[in-house]
Chain A
Amino acid sequence: MEEVEENQEMKKVQQNPSSSEEEEEEELELGLSLGAKKFTSCNATSSKPTCRILTAKDFHPAGVGGPTSSASSSSSSVGSGGGKRAKPGPASPDGAGGSSQPPSSQMVVGWPPVKQFRMNSLFNLSREHPDQNSTKNSNATPAPNGEKTKEKEHIKEEEKKLGSRTTPFVKVKMDGDPIGRKIDLCALASYNALASALELMFQNPGLVSSSITKLKLLEESSEYKLTYEDKEGDWMLVGDVPWRMFVDTVKRLRIMRHCDDHALKPKFCSSNLSNKLLR
């Protein structure tokens, strides 16, 4: 089965004989690019085979199922097809996410296509009843008031974790990577955990990104800078405020690729941006 999949992957890649060289060039792209797989050297208008768009490979970064997406690194062989569903692909690592039903599809923004309202509700429900998915419990007769107050306390605790957030998810985008993702802040307890999770999420050994080391995101010297947009719309460097405060105020995350401090001035405002637009 794996063989067949690899052939499919190969077919796609073969249509782009120059893919590997192109990938290096795209590293330098800024801005509104589809990024990784765009080929500026070829005729950009010919859309088809030369433009290799996201294949399943892109959804299976290495070591998926790390500290992100809550509990479920145990998302195991269960689910249709179990092991064979994890696409190895020519360039992806061995083992790693090999046999697990990858939760990576849930890290992509807007996927699965479930209304935000429903997602948030279910999220809150599952937080309260962590063993919902185990069947049975038909015989459990819940005690009335005792259960209820305990539940309410549990809810309050979870709410405290979230602070004033309505949803635990934040969008994350890395420069040069076309896929926007989302990360579950509730599943993380510290900046280190966040950095590790992001590293796993965006790591793609196919790219020439040898500078990815542990805690790349929090190190000054790294090529990457992790920034976030806070409630007021300002873009700040991650790591300056206590974790809890950060969780409360972060709206979205961005991994910047250059040592470019333009956007990182403290209190950089979107109003500055508007002023620049109106000349």
Chain B
Amino acid sequence: MKVQSAMFYFPEEVIEHIFSFLTHHPDRNTVSTVCKAWYKIERLSRCEVFVGNCYAIRPDRAAARFPGLRSLTLKGKPHFADFDLVPPDWGGLAGPWIEAMARSCPNLEELRMKRMVVSDESLELLVHAFPNFKALVLVSCEGFSTDGLAAVARSCKSLRELDLQENEIEDRGPRWLNSFPDMCTSLVSLNFACLKGEVNLKSLERLVCRSPNLKCLRLNRAVPVETLAKIMNQCPNLEDLGTGSLLADQFSEAYVSLISALQKCKKLRSLSGFWDASPLCLLAVYPICANLTGLNLSYAPTVQGQDFINLIQHCVKLLRLWVLDSVGDKGLAVVASACKELQELRVFPSDLFAAGPATVTEEGLVAISTGCPKLNSLLYFCHSMTNSALITVSKNCPNFTRFRLCILEPRKPDPATNEPLDEGFGAVVKTCKNLRRFSISGLLTDQVFYYIGKYAKALEMLSIAFAGDTDQGMTYVLNGCKNLRKLEIRDCPFGDGALLADVTKYETMRSLWMSSCDISLRGCKALATKMPSLNVEIINEWEAEMEENLNNGVAEVISNNNNKHINNGNDERKVEKLYVYRTVGGPRTDAPDFVWTL
């Protein structure tokens, strides 16, 4: 009571000042719900907004609520879109958001987007509508071309950051780099590693020359060693480097130049790229390895075997390592002995088309866990895993916050005992109290979900594939994981019973994805009816089947405000893909034909 009345007498500026210490957006969301006055103060002073699902709120409403917005982060398609499970043209359009911001939030400086569809026109609008625009980060986006990049380069007066990570960008030529005006000297971070085409090397060199603040530079494969060496000589303060193609001859001028350039870069902490890396170029890198905290070799199949070992043993301060499984258990053993500070490890499959000779097994993982007790984040693709290995790993590394294990063959049991991997994954959730993200694979019964529901109290995101026996599995998770935000399931025998076990749960979560499970149209309709605050969307990729149904007079379709309802009596039909998310924005207005909102 006392506190409440005291706050009442504070001038708004003071409360605003207090709020400015709250940088974590969930905290800001919380204070905005206290009372109308706080809501108003909070929304007017808010600078950063994070929208985890672009359909959870209408762009207009978000823009109107936060007119002072300076930084916006948006996520579009569901995570499984990364694996081709969401048909193209599903949505996640950036256009409406940029337009809404253009109307209401002129102070926008930073835009970060993940899994969204951005057009060149939207990029044009972006740079013309916001005079202070400084930073554009696009991750796993698509829909734009190098012409859009040219627009960004050309018109941004004080562009600080252009960060393109793993986007599908249509290549319309190398012109875009020329578009940076001569007076643009503000670049701090430039990442175009995902561009597939050629770049204008002279323009690149000139750009780097006039960017004294450049800290992060990630080149694409088209940049040869000669250019890299020239660039490195210009930026001795570089902290994060993504090399271009690292193919060079021992006696070439380029190679010698590269060595001396790299040695001058005392601040270099993170390396990536390494395309076509020849062993000699790797030699050039050794002198800076001792200070590296981040190393990404996951696009470098040429770095393996002894080359890898020679490189990694120098990296004693490494915190983050991404590699291909071609380094083998042997390579991982060396990592375990050299990189004692390691916190994050990702091991990607190198040969997606066959079981290659040197890949990793549970031994490599156990070695890592033994040598690197600080490990807290793991993504590991392997051909097999045992329960005892997982139990050992969790004992050695109780600090996991992210644990993702993918056994390449679905439903594969423990090869030593032929049992499911319930106990192994169970051990992980039992010992790792801070586990926030979990992906499981291999042969798994309902028992693993029992463990997850019982022990994984901090869990926020769970990914399941080819696992479980009955509805009970999914129910354990829904009932037990209090902090669950995202649940994504594919090819599991969970049906309507599981889906409807606790419908109010979905309001506490960002989203649910279920594909190739055992749910029916009837179950989905029931969910939609019970929970109007959710969008219950069904994706029918193979719409020709629906067409057939129409022709056979089986389906009768009623169209209502862009919502399509299927009433044909056969609600027992199984649903291929279901995406459920909470929203205040109502049903999507931009849903394509194959997305049905119930």
**CA separation between A169 and B22, bound complex, in Å?**
47
Q: B497 within 8 Å of A by Cβ? A: yes
A-B contact pairs, 30 of them (CB 8 A): A1-B418, A31-B548, A35-B574, A47-B493, A47-B497, A51-B493, A51-B495, A52-B493, A54-B410, A56-B443, A69-B353, A69-B354, A79-B383, A81-B415, A85-B409, A101-B354, A110-B83, A110-B84, A117-B166, A129-B302, A132-B350, A135-B305, A137-B305, A142-B247, A144-B247, A169-B84, A182-B84, A263-B544, A272-B547, A276-B550
Q: Closest residue of chain A to B225, judged by CB? A: A144
**Residue ID in chain A nearest B385 by CB atoms:** A80
Partner of B551, one of A108, A262, A279: A262
* C-alpha spacing A184/B354, complex, angstroms: 13
B97 touches A (CB below 8 Å): no
Residues of A within 8 A of B353 (CB): 69-72, 103, 106, 126, 184
User: Complex Cα distance A85/B382, Å?
Assistant: 14
Distance of A235 Cα from B542 Cα, bound (Å): 11
Check: B356 CB closer than 8 A to any chain A CB. yes
Q: Could you say which of B304, B408, B545, B547 contacts A32, with CB atoms under 8 Å apart?
A: B545
Residues on the B chain within 8 Å of A227, using CB:
544
Q: Which residues of A contact B357 (CB under 8 A)?
A: 78, 133-135
Closest to B248 in A: A144
A48 touches B410 (CB 8 A): no
Q: Is the CB of A113 within 8 A of B83?
A: yes
Q: Is the CB of A31 within 8 A of B490?
A: no
Contact A75 B352 (CB under 8 A): no
Chain A positions within 8 Å of B472 at CB level: 48
B279: which of A75, A138, A276 is its contact (CB, 8 Å)? Answer: A138
Q: Which residues of B contact A224 (CB under 8 A)?
A: none
A116–B541 CA distance with the chains assembled, in angstroms:
18
Contact of B304 with A135 in the complex, beta carbons under 8 Å: yes
Question: In the complex, A154→B293 CA distance in Å?
Answer: 36
Shortest Cβ distance from B474 into A: residue:
A47
Of residues 20 through 56 on chain A, the ones whose CB sits less than 8 Å from some CB of chain B are 30-35, 38, 40, 44-49, 51-56
For residues 348 through 405 of chain B, which have their beta carbon under 8 Å from a beta carbon of chain A? 348-359, 361, 381, 383-384
A31 close to B546 (CB less than 8 A): yes
**Closest A residue by C-beta to B469:** A48
- B551 and A173: CB pair below 8 A? no
Contacts of A129 in B (CB 8 A): 301-302
CB distance A133 to B326 under 8 Å?
Answer: yes
In the bound complex, do residue A235 and residue B406 qualify as a contact, i.e. CB atoms below 8 Å apart?
Answer: no
Q: Which secondary structure characterizes the binding site on chain B?
A: loop
A114 near B348 (CB under 8 angstroms)? yes
Interface residues on A, range: 35 or more
Once the chains bind, are B349 and A112 in contact (CB under 8 Å)?
yes
- Which B residues are closer than 8 A to A by beta carbons? 80, 82-85, 140, 166-168, 194, 247-250, 252, 276, 278-280, 298-299, 301-302, 304-307, 326, 348-359, 361, 381, 383-384, 406, 408-413, 415, 418, 439, 443, 463, 465-466, 469-472, 490-498, 516-518, 520-521, 540-552, 554, 557-559, 564, 570, 572-576, 593
Is B545's CB under 8 angstroms from A31's CB? Answer: yes
Which residue from chain A places its CB closest to the CB of B516 in the assembled complex? A178
Q: Which residues of A in the span 58-106 have a Cβ within 8 Å of any Cβ on B?
A: 59, 69-72, 74-76, 78-81, 84-85, 101-103, 105-106
Report whether A141 and B250 are in contact in the complex, using a CB–CB cutoff of 8 Å: yes
Q: Which residues from A are CB-within-8-Å of B493?
A: 47-48, 51-53
* Docked complex Cα distance between A129 and B351 (Å): 12
